[in-house]
Amino acid sequence: MHPMPISPAASPTDRLALIEQARRAVLEARDPDAGPRLAPWVARSWRRCLQLGLEPRREVSFDPVSSAQAQRALEASQPLLRAAAPVIRSLARAMAHTRYFAILTDAQGVVIDVNGPIDRHDPSVARIARVGVDLSERAVGTTAIGSALTDLQPVWLHRGEHFFDATSVYSCAGAPIWDPDGQCVGMLDLTGVNVAEQPALKHLVSQSARSIENALALARPHHLLLRMNWPGRVLGDDSDGLIGLDADGNITGLNRPAADMLGVAPGSPAGHASLHFAAPVESLFDTAAVHGGALELPLWSGLRLQVLAQLDRHATRTSAAVAQAVPLKDLETAAIRKAVDDARGNVQEAARALGISRATIYRKLGARGR
């Protein structure tokens, strides 16, 4: 027989009973196949804790790092704290009547901010809702914080899914936060103590982490901001790809949706905009200067994106291209001509790269190619 999965959709009583069966099988009998099947990230975390020599019945001290370490964590996390502040304040409305609160940590699991309905008279709350407390997996076992920072994906854990007996009073959702260079810089956690299970918080924490990532991307210095999405999508929400360019067209930072749209691996340098867009880089600046709406632009992959280019009002582009704006029709023609040249005159190949028909290329260029 296959072990039964522990589903958040089960009744509260059944869910807690199944979690307890899993604890007895895995943490006491050390037989992971004997009990209900755990969520993959919970199972991986329990295995890591056991490999570290941790024991579920051990007391958990929730020790803070040294004052010097805490100060360094706060100083290094200033961009993250500024980006997260308005998002965390808005979470208070979403969780107003749930008794959950928000914890923000750095990439090592050290608490750098807490916010929400924090009951300091509850020892289980007071232990973790403190700046400087080490809530990493090595320190406090399986939590949403340790799992999200290790697996780098949103997670939900309820009561006994935490490793230590002493942490089975908590229920928490967590999501990692990525900076514009594709590095994990921290995580957002939503935690309650002895509260009803709220699996929907996994979605809320994921959306909130994305809002923080977008704020980080927008705060990165840039001359030009590209807001992108697939044709048919409405630009202007947190699903948009965001790319910052310097005055020379180098990508200064991008959020995860933009990296996914361009096929840039996390942590890899994005390089120059010309590596991705099958249109002259100057046209992006010109478009921002003379055109108020979004345009569809081709990628070298053959896909097309709708792109809204916005000049940073605090930056000054020195290129003469802005002063002498090129008509949009000429920009489009230049992009098509470049694609045909790169395809060595093969119009069919250029059409595939641009995602348009051969007839469109002939019509735009006004002459037949090979």
- To the question of pTM greater than 0.95 for the whole model, the response is no
Q: Are residues 181 and 37 in the same domain?
A: yes
> What does the pLDDT profile of the chain (370 residues) look like in tens digits?
455 567 777 788 899 999 999 999 999 988 877 778 889 999 999 999 999 999 999 999 999 999 999 999 999 999 999 999 999 999 988 998 899 999 999 999 999 999 998 999 999 999 999 999 999 999 999 999 999 999 999 999 999 999 999 999 999 999 999 999 999 999 999 999 999 999 999 999 999 999 999 999 999 999 999 999 999 998 988 899 999 999 999 999 999 999 999 999 988 999 999 999 998 888 888 878 776 678 899 999 999 999 999 998 665 444 434 334 445 555 567 677 777 777 777 878 777 766 677 777 777 776 444 3
Q: Are residues 128 and 170 in the same domain?
A: yes
Q: Please report, for the domain that includes residue 147, its CATH number.
A: 3.30.450.40
In a domain, 99, yes or no: yes
Q: Are residues 202 and 272 in the same domain?
A: no
Q: Are residues 299 and 359 in the same domain?
A: no
Are 254 and 240 in contact by the 8 Å Cβ rule? The answer is no
Between CA 333 and CA 364 the distance in angstroms is: 6
Are 143 and 229 in contact by the 8 Å Cβ rule? The answer is no
Among 157, 187, 217, the domain-final residue is 217
In a domain, 185, yes or no: yes
Q: Are residues 68 and 153 in the same domain?
A: yes
Q: Are residues 64 and 80 in the same domain?
A: yes
Q: Are residues 111 and 189 in the same domain?
A: yes
Q: Are residues 23 and 84 in the same domain?
A: yes
Cα angle, residue 231 at apex, residues 225 and 233 outer, rounded to 5°: 80
Strand, coil or helix: 113: strand
Cα–chain center distance at 53: 32
Q: Are residues 125 and 167 in the same domain?
A: yes
Beta-ladder partners of 188: 104, 175
Q: Are residues 203 and 73 in the same domain?
A: yes
In a domain, 2, yes or no: no
Q: In what order do the strands lie in the sheet with 241-245?
A: 251-254, 241-245, 224-229, 304-311, 295-298
Q: Which domain holds residue 282?
A: 221-318
